[in-house]
Amino acid sequence: MASTFAGLDELVIAVSKGRILREALPLLAAAGIEPCEDPDVSRKLILETSKPNIKLVIIRAADVPTFVEYGAADVGIAGKDVLLEYEGNGYYEPLDLKIAACRLMLAGRGPVDNSSRRLRVATKYAATTRRYFAEKGVQIEIVKLYGSMELAPLVGLADYIVDLVDTGNTLKANGLIAMEHVRDVTSRLIVNKASMKIKHAQITGLIGSLAAVVA
């Protein structure tokens, strides 16, 4: 399904708010796309840009693949961590933007003896965690959380966590150690499948400009 919200000559780009938006704005600016209002100040959810036919929508990270799959946005910028959890497949992923780089890590207070019971792992990344342990042939119990994962081992909610790590400061501040590297994470450009056909020239132009900036 292509966007019915945007005209045929328009492009809507959905960007995860927060850290990814902060790192994506300089890339977009280098590709000639600058929001007309400061996203940190404006309360608008749809922002006009310096290109009259390109709009930005600023949304929660986990909603970006949904907006793109359903064609509410033609293009999106989201972390690979979020894309790995998303169950649909209605988009292409043509470009690694190499921003918001971090790692998904297994962490805890130290090794736990699991010879007599299943390990309990707290995470926001249930699908990725399940796949990771399944590949190792280890059965685990997942405790789904939506934030502050680092608390779980401290209060006895779980043996381990799977969470994003960048500097390692959050783990260190909470007395946790990184134990296994699950996968590297960066932000990706994703594209609605129908938009790629219908707006081919504009979208390949955008991918080309961003690829040149990233390179």
Which CB, 40 or 166, lies closer to ligand ATP? Answer: 166
Which CB, 82 or 105, lies closer to ligand ATP? Answer: 82
Q: ∠ at Cα 23 (51, 174), nearest 5°? A: 155
Binding site for ligand ATP (CB under 6 A): 16, 18-20, 60-62, 79, 81-82, 100, 102, 164, 166, 185, 187
**Residue spans of beta strands (DSSP E) within the chain:** 11-16, 46-48, 54-59, 75-79, 91-96, 102-108, 119-123, 140-144, 160-165, 177-185, 187-192
136 close to 125: Cβ distance less than 8 angstroms: no
Which CB, 115 or 167, lies closer to ligand PRP? Answer: 167
Binds 185, which of ligand ATP, ligand PRP, none (CB < 5 to 8 A, cut-off by type)? ligand ATP
CA distance linking residue 87 with residue 123, whole number of Å: 17
Q: Output the smallest distance, CB 153 to ligand ATP, in A.
A: 18
Binds 129, which of ligand ATP, ligand PRP, none (CB < 5 to 8 A, cut-off by type)? none
- Closest residue to ligand ATP: CB criterion: 79
Binding site for ligand PRP (CB under 6 A): 147, 163-170
Binds 163, which of ligand ATP, ligand PRP, none (CB < 5 to 8 A, cut-off by type)? ligand PRP
- DSSP lists the bridge partners of residue 181 as 105
Which three-class secondary structure state does DSSP give residue 164?
strand
